[in-house]
Amino acid sequence: MKLSSQIDSTRAAANRNLYLAYEELIQLPEDLGYKTVFEPGTREEHHQITRPIIASVNHLQQNGHMKNIIYSDGSPTTVELTNKSINYRYNDFFQISYVLCGKIVYHIRDAQVTVEEGGVLLIDDNTYYCEDITLSEGTIINISVSVPVINEIFLTYENEDTLQGFLHRSFIKEKGKQNMLYFFPKKPEESLIISNLISDILFEIKDKKRGFEYICKGYLVRLMDNIASEYEYSYTREEKDFFRKYLFDEVKNYIFQNYQNIQIQDLIDHFHYQRNYFNRLIKDFTGMTYSDYLIEVRILHAKHLLETTRSNIDEIMMEVGYNNKGFFYNSFKERVGLSPAGFRKSLKQEDQA
Domain of 345: which CATH number? Answer: 1.10.10.60
pLDDT (tens digit per residue) in 56-70: 999 998 887 888 889
127 and 30 housed in the same domain:
yes
- The number of residues in the chain equals 353
How does residue 25 score in pLDDT terms, banded at 50, 70 and 90? confident
How does residue 159 score in pLDDT terms, banded at 50, 70 and 90? very low
Residues with Cβ within 8 Å of 105's Cβ and at least 6 positions away in sequence, in order, are: 112, 113, 114, 115, 131, 132, 135, 136
160 and 301 housed in the same domain:
no
153 and 9 housed in the same domain:
yes
Q: Is the pLDDT of residue 197 over 80?
A: yes
Strand partners, 47: 36, 91
pLDDT above 90 covers what percent of the chain? Answer: 40
130 and 276 housed in the same domain:
no
How does residue 153 score in pLDDT terms, banded at 50, 70 and 90? confident
Residues with Cβ within 8 Å of 279's Cβ and at least 6 positions away in sequence, in order, are: 289, 290
Average pLDDT over residues 186-212: 87
Pairing of strands 89-91, 45-49: parallel
pLDDT for res 302: 95
170 and 251 housed in the same domain:
no
225 and 239 housed in the same domain:
no
pLDDT for res 191: 83
| pTM score of the predicted model | 0.67
289 and 155 housed in the same domain:
no
8 and 125 housed in the same domain:
yes
CATH number for the domain spanning 79: value is 2.60.120.280
pLDDT above 70 covers what percent of the chain? Answer: 85
Given 173, 202, 234, the domain boundary residue is 234
* Nearest-angstrom CA–CA distance, 177 and 156: 21
Q: Is the pLDDT of residue 11 over 70?
A: no
pLDDT for res 98: 95
pLDDT for res 140: 95
Domain that includes residue 80, residue range: 1-234
- Give the total number of structural domains in the chain: 2
191 and 259 housed in the same domain:
no
Helices 264-271 and 237-258, axial angle in degrees (round to 10): 130
Q: Burial, 113: exposed, middle or buried (Cβ in 10 Å; 0-12, 13-18, 19+)? A: middle
Neighbouring C-beta atoms of residue 41, cutoff 10 Å: 6
How does residue 236 score in pLDDT terms, banded at 50, 70 and 90? low
249 and 183 housed in the same domain:
no
155 and 256 housed in the same domain:
no
Given 200, 234, 268, the domain boundary residue is 234
Given 214, 234, 254, the domain boundary residue is 234
255 and 267 housed in the same domain:
yes
